[in-house]
Amino acid sequence: MKVIAAYLLAVLGGNTNPSLENLKDILESVGAEVDDDRIEFLLAEVKGKDITELIASGREKFASVPSGGGAIAVAAPAGGGGGAAAPAAPEPKKEEKVEEKEESDDDMGFSLFD
């Protein structure tokens, strides 16, 4: 991910075709580990491709991935005689959880503004 971020930073900075050295410089400037193999792999994958097209293609792929949040299946009322419809099931009440803040000993007895 950091290699991709460095590539995007280089492109946003005006370098439309960043090299291995450009990406290494960016990563080293923030103290990140540099893996030449990963950088070379990324550069091989994006060589000759437009960054906006790559991002658009990635968004399309990402949109098709399920993002969790299961839906509740509701059974439709059975058709039939002209009887009254069954009342809808009441929605479960949401419990509000109130978190109590505890004093932290992280400041070791002094404050930045004391």
Give the Cα separation of 75 and 96 in Å (integer).
Answer: 28
Residue 107 to residues 15, 44, 111, 112, 114: CA-CA distances in angstroms?
Answer: 44, 49, 6, 9, 11
In a domain, 34, yes or no: yes
In this model, does residue 27 exceed pLDDT 60?
yes
Residue 82 included in any domain: no
pLDDT 10s digits, 84-108:
555 566 666 666 666 655 555 555 5
> pLDDT at position 77, please?
58
CATH number of the domain at 36, please. 1.10.10.1410
Domain range for residue 39?
A: 2-63
- Comparing 3-7, 41-45, 71-75, 93-97, the range with the smallest average pLDDT is 71-75
Residue 44 pLDDT: 93
Q: What angle do CA 39, 22, 7 make, to 5 degrees?
A: 55
Would residue 57 count as lying in a domain?
Answer: yes
pLDDT digits (tens, 9 = 90+) for 10-21: 999 999 899 999
The mean pLDDT of the chain is 77
Rounded Cα distance between 27 and 22, Å, is: 9
Give the residue among 47, 25, 46 at the shortest CA–CA distance from 36.
Answer: 25
110 domain residue, yes or no: no
> Is 12 part of any domain?
yes
Domain count along the chain: 1
DSSP string covering 16-30:
SS--HHHHHHHHHHT
Portion of the chain with pLDDT greater than 70, in percent: 59
